Structure 1
Amino acid sequence: MRVMVIGAGAIGAACALALVEAGADVVVVDRAGVAAETSSRCEGNILVSDKAPGPEADLAILAHTAWRELADRLDADRAPGQPATEFEAKGGVVVAFDGGAEALEAFAGAQRGIGIRAEALDAAQLRELEPHLSPAVARGIHYPDDAQVQPSLATQAMLARARRFGARLLLTEVTGAQIGSGRIVAVDTAEGRIGVDAVVNCAGPWAGEVAVRLGSRLDIRPRRGMILVTTPMPQRVFHKVYDGDYVGAVSSGDAALQTSTVVESTDAGTVLIGSSRERVGFSASAALPPLAEIAAKATKLFPFLADTMLLRTYFGFRPYAPDHLPAIGADGEVAGLFHAAGHEGAGIGLAPTTGALIAHAVLGAELPLFGGKPFDATPFLPTRESLRAAA
């Protein structure tokens, strides 16, 4: 089966890998390059800590296990000179200042009910895990299953493996599609027309635009996020540490600027500081206000950061679905068209399970098991009423 995957970010690479391992003839098309956009402008989160009970939490729990196996496989079979994924099971610590501890514990209690490990920490235990935290932090929750990859490297590794199995990469832009009897039969690109049996739209924040070019519609919107990077230093942050406000920002539908504190160290000695969310289209302007808010909140959480020099800042556009669930599965209007988009900040973490769901939708491959049963992909279908209604 000839399958085109549009987008060479983490989701596209994971889908290409799952499809080619299931026997498809895969071509990956991207206008900019591997991990050239969102997947190189994020933190590489593999989180369960920010997921409330529901379909996305189930997908994240499944992905948490899948990433450990996938990272081992990618790192073990990488070609000479190819970098590792830098997978790190560092765990997460979610904290609350005075007044927020009760809500933090209630959220963790609900997560424990679906099997997420969430360990309550008092002030003394917090300092054992993170000795440089502000003394104003009252309570915390330790999530030992939170993890991290270097997102660009992990994306490159997934696509490199897919190409070793026969997938091809074409750098060009999709311009349209040929539809025959309601089914997509070819895709037009800047390099010419390519015949296909199926197409998977993994174009991230541009997935809505690509859907229109292919004769359909998908309500995926860009949501801008910014990150600060310090100069290298001796390690003083030992987990992914974030304020409980982050969970609310993730689930909010507000278009206005929202910032919350996320701080973590990297293998290179730098500290990554986030995060912001705002819907400003694809605008690159007015970057200073979110950067200033992020910096102010980070120094409240880790006071030593006030005297730390910044190396750089960067931003990316995340694919936002108005009902806060990614769209994974068959299009409702064009036969042979599938979507895997709308993961917003969870795309890296949910990539391998998204690939498995797409391989099932396109090729009929077996679904991954969850709780001893095939995983229920119904809540993520692009045809769901909550996504259509939001549009």
Structure 2
Amino acid sequence: MPDALVVGAGIVGAACAYRLAEAGLKVVVLEKEATFAQGSTGKSAAGVRVQFSEPLNILLSYHSILEYQRIPEASYRPIGYLFLVPEALREAQEEALATQRALGVPVEKLSLKKAQSHVPFREEGLAYATFGPMDGVIDPHGVTAHYLREARRLGARVRFSEPLISARREKGVWRAKTPKGEVAASFLLLCTGAWTGEVGKRLGLEIPIRPVRRMVFATTPAPFPHAFPLTIDLATGFYLRSEGARVLMGRSNPDEPPGFSEGMDWRWLAPTLEAGLSRFPFLEGLALDRRASWWGYYEMTPDANPILGFVEEGLLVAAGFSGHGVQQAAMVGRLMAEEVVHGKARSLDITPFRLHRFREGRFLKEKGIV
């Protein structure tokens, strides 16, 4: 009988499986798709950053980026994140910057003139910018493949095309039902991303994680050389970055209803471009490539922060990252292994991200959600 059953073979589930196997546990991974990284992981914009306001988010990302730097398959590129800070958010961003610096992560405060050296923009309404030199992008597929390969090397079994139908706890053991039979394990870990709310219902649990669709728009190759960092206009939430000769861009739709809506919402292109052109006029000279654009899901919680750790006896959740799961997966894998092996995460205090905060009516106020 395996010690731990991990549900989900995205980047978070893969990292957890690897670290559990590394700790000497017998691990089985269940994945409903035919291969790995087919959910939010594979649709991610691939950014990694330390520029958050909540200390735990900062540290989860910081330690994860340090790990990605050591994984060749991650193809880590420190292109940086540039935050353009409007006057209205001057004080809030100053507080976030102070927290980041107190934790020892590298973030710089830039004048608008210096920020212009990274990407050209209109300065109206802005106070200053912040830049994270260790922020950047990775290859989520490469990282996920690395973790699953290492987990298998240590004895883990990965079973594709095998969704979790239901599970129940009997005599200290979780008995999970799949289309191929029953799998029993002492611990059950849900790393099911945007589907975690639905999976929770199969276990008779209310887990407040819902899918929300997000779009990434890609241009055709630009007629000029560029190497833009992932740049975010905090006044509107519009972001862009270079991807080879293309420019990727997007903006979260605050009116997008939760649910498994599918396909590109081309109606959201006009509001996205309107926000982008107001700050980055050079975008007007670029053409959109509809075939290169894509959509995926954010896995949203009520406060846009993840749920981590035990939620019931033998049952753990690592999901609800609300757009920053790729950024934090590496450290989350380590912490979930500590939860199982030691009964509680040791490297970082994950209390702020435990499920009971919602049951107690406590909501975190992360200011760095994009």
Q: TM-score, normalised by structure 2?
A: 0.86
Residue 203 of structure 1 and its aligned partner are, at CA, apart by: 0.5
Q: Secondary structure at the match of 1:323?
A: coil
Kindly provide the CA deviation profile for residues 204-261 of structure 1, in whole angstroms up to 9, marking residues without a partner as x.
Answer: 011111122134331111122111112234542431111123xxxxxxxxxxxxx621
Kindly provide the CA deviation profile for residues 108-129 of structure 1, in whole angstroms up to 9, marking residues without a partner as x.
Answer: 3454344443322223212223
Distance 1:48 1:114 in 2: 10
- Whether 1:168 and 2:157 are equivalent positions in the alignment is yes
Say if 1:111 and 1:390 are closer, same or farther in 2 by CA, change over 3 A: closer
Residue 354 of structure 1 and its aligned partner are, at CA, apart by: 0.9
Kindly provide the CA deviation profile for residues 289-316 of structure 1, in whole angstroms up to 9, marking residues without a partner as x.
Answer: 3222222222233222212122232211
Q: Secondary structure at the match of 2:113?
A: helix
Which amino acid letter does the alignment assign opposite residue 276 of structure 1? S
Distance 2:44 2:207 in 1: 23
Contact 1:95–1:244 (CA under 8 A) maintained in structure 2: yes
Residue 36 of structure 1 and its aligned partner are, at CA, apart by: 0.4
- Whether 1:65 and 2:41 are equivalent positions in the alignment is no
Q: Secondary structure at the match of 2:58?
A: helix
Contact 2:215–2:264 (CA under 8 A) maintained in structure 1: no
Contact 1:321–1:387 (CA under 8 A) maintained in structure 2: no
Distance 2:165 2:41 in 1: 23
Report which stretch shifted further, 300-309 or 191-200. 300-309
Kindly provide the CA deviation profile for residues 366-389 of structure 1, in whole angstroms up to 9, marking residues without a partner as x.
Answer: 9564xxxxx21222223x233564
Contact 2:336–2:345 (CA under 8 A) maintained in structure 1: no
- Whether 1:239 and 2:229 are equivalent positions in the alignment is yes
Distance 1:185 1:106 in 2: 44
Say if 1:321 and 1:99 are closer, same or farther in 2 by CA, change over 3 A: closer
Q: 1:179 corresponds to which residue?
A: 169
Q: 1:147 corresponds to which residue?
A: 136
Kindly provide the CA deviation profile for residues 76-121 of structure 1, in whole angstroms up to 9, marking residues without a partner as x.
Answer: xxxxxxxx32211222111135666565445434543444433222
- 1:23-102 correspondence runs (5 A): 23-32=24-33, 33-49=35-51, 51-60=52-61, 64-72=62-70, 74-75=71-72, 84-96=73-85, 101=90
Which amino acid letter does the alignment assign opposite residue 21 of structure 2? V
Correspondent of 1:269 among 220, 245, 248: 245
- Whether 1:20 and 2:21 are equivalent positions in the alignment is yes
Q: 1:127 corresponds to which residue?
A: 116
Which amino acid letter does the alignment assign opposite residue 193 of structure 1? E
Say if 1:56 and 1:9 are closer, same or farther in 2 by CA, change over 3 A: same
Residue 273 of structure 1 and its aligned partner are, at CA, apart by: 0.5
Residue 154 of structure 1 and its aligned partner are, at CA, apart by: 2.2
Counting matched residue pairs gives 354
Distance 2:90 2:308 in 1: 35
Say if 1:114 and 1:194 are closer, same or farther in 2 by CA, change over 3 A: same
Residue 357 of structure 1 and its aligned partner are, at CA, apart by: 1.2
Contact 2:263–2:295 (CA under 8 A) maintained in structure 1: no
- 1:239-318 correspondence runs (5 A): 239-245=229-235, 260-266=237-243, 268-277=244-253, 278-284=256-262, 287-311=265-289, 312-318=292-298
Contact 1:93–1:143 (CA under 8 A) maintained in structure 2: yes
Distance 1:69 1:106 in 2: 27
Distance 1:304 1:45 in 2: 23
Residue 38 of structure 1 and its aligned partner are, at CA, apart by: 0.6
Residue 157 of structure 1 and its aligned partner are, at CA, apart by: 2.4
Distance 1:235 1:368 in 2: 46
Say if 1:39 and 1:163 are closer, same or farther in 2 by CA, change over 3 A: same
Residue 8 of structure 1 and its aligned partner are, at CA, apart by: 0.9
Q: Secondary structure at the match of 1:38?
A: coil
Q: Secondary structure at the match of 2:334?
A: helix
Which amino acid letter does the alignment assign opposite residue 274 of structure 1? G
Say if 1:153 and 1:294 are closer, same or farther in 2 by CA, change over 3 A: farther
Percent identical across equivalent pairs?
Answer: 28
Distance 1:227 1:165 in 2: 37
Distance 2:112 2:357 in 1: 45
Say if 1:107 and 1:367 are closer, same or farther in 2 by CA, change over 3 A: closer
Say if 1:220 and 1:100 are closer, same or farther in 2 by CA, change over 3 A: closer
Distance 1:170 1:353 in 2: 24
Q: Secondary structure at the match of 2:82?
A: strand
Q: TM-score, normalised by structure 1?
A: 0.82
Residue 178 of structure 1 and its aligned partner are, at CA, apart by: 3.7
Say if 1:344 and 1:206 are closer, same or farther in 2 by CA, change over 3 A: same
- Cα RMSD (Å): 2.6
Correspondent of 1:362 among 334, 340, 344: 340
Which consecutive unaligned segments of at least 5 residues does structure 2 have? 364-370
Distance 1:7 1:102 in 2: 40
Q: Secondary structure at the match of 1:351?
A: helix
